[in-house]
Amino acid sequence: MNCNLFIISGPAGVGKTTLCDRLLSDHQSDLKRVITATTRNPRVGEEDGKDYYFLDRQEFERKKRQNEFLENERIHGHEYGVLREAIQGTLSDVPNLLLNIDVKGARTIQKAFGEHSGHSGNLVSIFISPESIEVLEERLRNRGTDSVSEIERRLQTAKQELLAAQFFSYEIRSEDREKDYCRIRQIYLENRK
């Protein structure tokens, strides 16, 4: 891999997308988002090809059969995956790529590039932990995009995902958006090409 791949991961509701969007906005000249695919429906304001590639289940399954995914996982009843072409197609554009991905997917990519590749400068993984499960629950409820049962499912998943933090290059315990962003930006500046 001729560029740096920055992975930002953590439980649903910790603010990954907000942090990624700001980092991308501040570093447009040398950082590009890796757009992932999903079978879930777009949320209000999300655009196909910008936020995700929104695929129906048949198209997603076809791409799986044709080995078009670098990794894919079933999360909260929906399929998510990183298309090989989404990474390969951006390698020549910029020296640094940013991937906002679920914890299972992040672990799969880490294993694909080697457990200690975060120290080689090619793969830098950042895990965002919530201040507490209670704070995470409040964030999920306040964003108003999920049903009560979906929130409960996400909280149960989060408890398991928190155990994976030790496998990431960096862990940031979320405090507030500004402090979280400053930490992520510092990690980016220290590791970018």
The per-residue pLDDT for range 92-122, each reduced to its tens digit, is 678 899 999 999 899 988 887 765 444 344 8
At residue 137, the 3 state secondary structure works out as: helix
pLDDT per residue over 16-27, tens digit each?
999 999 999 999
pLDDT per residue over 37-66, tens digit each?
999 999 889 999 988 999 999 999 999 999
What pTM value is reported for the model? 0.85
* Side-chain-side CA neighbours of residue 187 (13 Å): 27
pLDDT per residue over 122-170, tens digit each?
899 999 999 888 988 888 888 877 788 888 988 998 999 999 999 999 9
Who contacts 47 (Cβ-Cβ below 8 Å, separation ≥6)? none
Could you tell me the pLDDT band of residue 3, with boundaries at 50, 70 and 90? confident
Q: Please check whether residue 164 is in contact with residue 107, taking contact to mean a CB–CB distance below 8 angstroms.
A: yes
Go through the domains of the chain in sequence order and give each one's CATH number.
4-188 (3.40.50.300)
At residue 54, the 3 state secondary structure works out as: strand
- What is the C-alpha separation between 139 and 130, in angstroms, rounded? 10
* Side-chain-side CA neighbours of residue 185 (13 Å): 15
